[in-house]
A = this chain, B = another copy of it.
Amino acid sequence: MPTIYDVAREAGVSAATVSRVLNGAQTVDPAMVARVLTAVRELGYRPNAVARNLRRSRTTLWAVIISDIGNPFFTAMVRGVEDVAQQEGYSVVLCNSDEDPAKEETYVAAALSEQMAGVIISSSGSVKAAKTLIDSPVPVVAVDRELPRGAVDTVVVDNEGGARTATEHLLAAGYRRIACIAGPEGVSTADLRLRGYTAALPGDPVIVRADFREQGGYDAMAALLSSPEPPDAVFVANNLMTVGALRCLTERGVDVPGQVGLVGFDEIPWADLVHPSPSTVTQPTYELGRMAARLLVDRIATPAAKPATIVLPAELHPRESSIPR
């Protein structure tokens, strides 16, 4: 691979001049510019970004650490981040922690070693990863899930409110024994949605903790159905678990919404094509990513500013799975 010195020699100028031309400096003789560009083309020269990054002591990369690339919620959010990043001249490096705190820690370490310009993270709950980030000078934004004990810029939805609305909706529909399939303890969205459910419920809560995955939702639903007093409705704390719960109900021939009503948190792709179509609490997913990216841009510009928290609304979309009997 040719270097900037090869180009300089070919064009009969110094490396400094080549650098100026390539970085759009105004103070270069047009004749030189032409010679340099010709040499660049002839040699097929491609600037070495690693060298540039070292010299400048900064990169134009953002690490976006999400907890499940198989969850359409996160991929939609990433699109929001990407659009802003591109517009602002950054590239997005997507890291999939797979709900595994150890992987999350590895990615955080890599982001810091690689001198990333910023990190957007939807924490899988690793306190160590959070601490590492907060103790580092890298600009950080938490999105969807709060960073454990972290006072950083944050964009979330009103998880507690959304869960309360979902539960109240089931109550209004006439259901009385409403259970909750909750997410993993220590993940902010899981804990807040559980709190919203509990707050809205007049009677005793029935809670099964699962892992935010489809199989977890399936198993939790199965456990609820085979309990002594099965629930007549269930509030499921995320989209993948909702699919799992629905599959379990369908397989066992349980009538939804006749025997059991259901509302899930998060949108499900093609929910309207599923039968019975699941009622959901939807979030402005793309907007969540966009806002996070905006906050990161601001944070990079003014590192000392006070951390902001933005809360976006969550909205109930009633569908077939919770229609009153």
A-side interface residues toward B, CB under 8 Å?
1, 44, 46-51, 53-54, 59, 69-70, 72, 75-76, 78-79, 82, 91-96, 107, 109-110, 112-115, 135-137, 243, 246-247, 250, 268-270, 272-275
Q: Counting chain B CB atoms within 10 Å of each CB, which of A48, A50, A93, A95 scores highest?
A: A50
Asked if A273 meets B274 with Cβ closer than 8 Å, knowing A49-B113, A79-B70, the reply is yes
With A and B bound together, what is the CA distance between A193 and B76 in angstroms?
28
Give 9 A-B pairs besides A47-B113, A48-B115 with Cβ atoms closer than 8 angstroms.
A46-B109, A48-B54, A50-B114, A69-B94, A91-B107, A91-B110, A243-B270, A268-B270, A273-B274
Selected A-B contacts with CB under 8 Å, 16 pairs = A46-B109, A46-B112, A46-B113, A49-B115, A50-B53, A54-B54, A69-B75, A69-B78, A70-B79, A78-B96, A92-B96, A94-B94, A247-B270, A250-B273, A270-B270, A273-B274
- The answer to whether B59 touches A50 (Cβ under 8 A) is yes
Asked if A269 meets B269 with Cβ closer than 8 Å, knowing A50-B50, A113-B49, the reply is yes
Taking the closest CB of chain B, its distance from the CB of A270, in whole angstroms, is 5
The residues of B that contact A78 with a CB separation of less than 8 Å are 69, 96
- The answer to whether B50 touches A137 (Cβ under 8 A) is no
Asked if A273 meets B275 with Cβ closer than 8 Å, knowing A1-B137, A78-B69, the reply is yes
Q: Counting chain B CB atoms within 10 Å of each CB, which of A44, A70, A135, A246 scores highest?
A: A70
The residues of B that contact A243 with a CB separation of less than 8 Å are 269-270, 273
Lowest 5 CB-CB distances: which A-B pairs, in order? A275-B275, A94-B94, A49-B113, A273-B274, A49-B114
With A and B bound together, what is the CA distance between A115 and B53 in angstroms?
12
Taking the closest CB of chain B, its distance from the CB of A119, in whole angstroms, is 14
With A and B bound together, what is the CA distance between A70 and B107 in angstroms?
22
The residues of B that contact A46 with a CB separation of less than 8 Å are 109, 112-113, 136
With A and B bound together, what is the CA distance between A95 and B42 in angstroms?
29
Q: Counting chain B CB atoms within 10 Å of each CB, which of A1, A53, A93, A270 scores highest?
A: A270
Taking the closest CB of chain B, its distance from the CB of A112, in whole angstroms, is 6
Q: Counting chain B CB atoms within 10 Å of each CB, which of A51, A136, A247 scores highest?
A: A51
With A and B bound together, what is the CA distance between A136 and B2 in angstroms?
12
- The answer to whether A94 touches B91 (Cβ under 8 A) is no
Asked if A115 meets B72 with Cβ closer than 8 Å, knowing A110-B91, A250-B273, A273-B247, the reply is no
Taking the closest CB of chain B, its distance from the CB of A172, in whole angstroms, is 26
Taking the closest CB of chain B, its distance from the CB of A242, in whole angstroms, is 10
The residues of B that contact A114 with a CB separation of less than 8 Å are 49-50
With A and B bound together, what is the CA distance between A46 and B110 in angstroms?
10
- The answer to whether A50 touches B44 (Cβ under 8 A) is no
Taking the closest CB of chain B, its distance from the CB of A109, in whole angstroms, is 8
With A and B bound together, what is the CA distance between A297 and B33 in angstroms?
41
Taking the closest CB of chain B, its distance from the CB of A128, in whole angstroms, is 14
With A and B bound together, what is the CA distance between A69 and B273 in angstroms?
21
With A and B bound together, what is the CA distance between A92 and B66 in angstroms?
13
Taking the closest CB of chain B, its distance from the CB of A215, in whole angstroms, is 13
